[in-house]
Amino acid sequence: MSLIFLRFSRFCATVFALIYLSACAISPAPINADKKEQTIIIEVAVGASHSIVIDDNNKVWTTGHNKYGQLALGDTYNRNVFTRVKGLNDINITKVAAGYFYTIALDDSGAVWASGHNNFGQLGLGDLEDRYEFVKVDDFSDSKIVSICAGVNHTIALDDNGLLWVAGDNFNGQAGILGSNYYTRFTRINSFETLKIVSFACGWDQTFAIDDANAVWATGHNYYYQLGLGDRNDRNSFIKIAELNDKNITKIVAGDYHSAALSVDDKIWACGANFTGQLGELDLNWRKTFSEIKSLDNRSIISLYVGAYHSFAIGAENDANHTLFATGNNSIGQLGLGDYAERAEWTQVAPICENYAAIAARDNHSIALCGDGSLFATGFNFHGQLGVGDERDRYRFTKVNFYTD
């Protein structure tokens, strides 16, 4: 199958999805500009066309596409401004993760909550029924969950014993368990024997884990070499990535068909498809194994983030001054560079923060969280997922103004 055909097919699928999803009506919540105190944000996540944040009171706000209830607002109306989720008023949420059309939240007691599309059981509620408000997941016995991530249709949770749990799609082996094509309840992954997992990442249909001995493991879809194993064979159980054995990896991230890792010496390692230059190495060549990306060698990189076909890196000369770099697909302005030209090399984004707390990216939109709790968004906005009060796309990071209600 040619690269042109693959890219054209992906484009057609995206266009079809956008036309199909456009049926949902926008129900905008007005921004109250008379409020003097802007909400401070501490965490952000994005799905295919919706966005979620947590404020400094540990409350959840959502915006964007809501056909499947992924905004957890009790209805299916889209929003174009961030709207507080009232169903969790008495719950303190500490982490959020966004699947393609669903949302997972973690509270301060270690309990998991889920809302949205559930066609593969990715909500972990024992069925395939969508939910329109957050429902508590009761699948973890006495384990306390400490972190979560979401792929397209699969969800991974890490407990306080260093064990991974999975719910949802397993068609390509992304659950890391031999057996069913999908799991409607969270099921413990027993691939690591006595090892404890300390970090993990969910991609489109692939999953990565880092254990307490600094070994990196991968499972799932691998047609585009996104597992970094040197071949195109899917894996249905976790396998150690030999190429990263001695690299002392501190973070791993996964997009649709590419993956990247950051080592303790600030080096970037990447593999997989490179359709739009998302690997940032001045070419469009795919990498079969994790290869060092040298185009930012003169920078101190402190964190990595990826979307479907684009990537971000945060550089730091010191604790107070950060620099944001972007590469890859920019067809709808998702790199925030002021144009629609894709990049095959890391390009500095015009400063919007003195320091960056996080970047969230998925298909065609990206959100930057600054260290002061302010939020900036760019890219596709057809469903209001940027939260800026309209449905107009942006090609520069635009400040998101919303206030405590």
The mean pLDDT of 274-284, rounded to a whole number, is 97
The rounded distance, in Å, linking the Cα atoms of 36 and 39 is: 10
Q: What is the CA radius of gyration of the chain?
A: 20
Q: What is the CATH number of the domain that holds 46?
A: 2.130.10.30
Number of domains in the chain: 1
pLDDT for res 386: 98
> Any idea what the Cα angle at residue 104 is, between residues 113 and 405, rounded to 5°?
80
pLDDT grade, residue 179 (50/70/90)?
Answer: confident
pLDDT for res 381: 98
Which residues in 96-135 are b (16+ Cβ under 10 Å) and which e?
A: bbbbbbbbbbbbeeebbbbbbbbbbbbbbbeeeebbbbbb
pLDDT for res 259: 98
197: pLDDT strictly greater than 90: yes
- Is 1 part of any domain? no
The rounded distance, in Å, linking the Cα atoms of 275 and 253 is: 18
- Is 256 part of any domain? yes
pLDDT for res 405: 61
The mean pLDDT of 129-143, rounded to a whole number, is 92
Sequence length of the chain is 405
pLDDT for res 8: 45
The rounded distance, in Å, linking the Cα atoms of 156 and 150 is: 6
- Is 5 part of any domain? no
16: pLDDT strictly greater than 80: no
**Can you give the residue range of the structural domain that contains 116?**
13-399
Q: Of all residues in the chain, what percent carry a pLDDT higher than 70? A: 89
pLDDT for res 11: 45
Largest interatomic CA distance in the chain: 58
- Is 404 part of any domain? no
- The CB density around residue 89, as the number of other CB atoms within 10 Å, is 8
Higher pLDDT residue, 179 or 206?
A: 206
- The CB density around residue 19, as the number of other CB atoms within 10 Å, is 9
pLDDT digits (tens, 9 = 90+) for 18-67: 444 444 455 544 444 444 467 899 999 999 999 999 999 999 999 999 99
Cross-strand bridge partners of residue 64: 50, 79
pLDDT for res 347: 97
- Is 282 part of any domain? yes
- Is 6 part of any domain? no
The mean pLDDT of 328-332, rounded to a whole number, is 98
- Reference 90, options 131, 136, 148; nearest CA is 136
- Is 263 part of any domain? yes
Q: What is the mean pLDDT of the chain?
A: 91
pLDDT digits (tens, 9 = 90+) for 345-377: 999 999 999 899 999 999 999 999 999 999 999
Which residues in 168-196 are b (16+ Cβ under 10 Å) and which e?
A: bbbbbbbbbbeeeebbbbbbebebbeeee
Helices (H), 112-194: none
pLDDT grade, residue 181 (50/70/90)?
Answer: very high
- Is 2 part of any domain? no
- Reference 386, options 368, 405, 371; nearest CA is 368
6: pLDDT strictly greater than 50: no
pLDDT digits (tens, 9 = 90+) for 198-253: 999 999 999 999 999 999 999 999 999 999 999 999 999 999 999 999 999 999 99
pLDDT for res 34: 47
283: pLDDT strictly greater than 70: yes
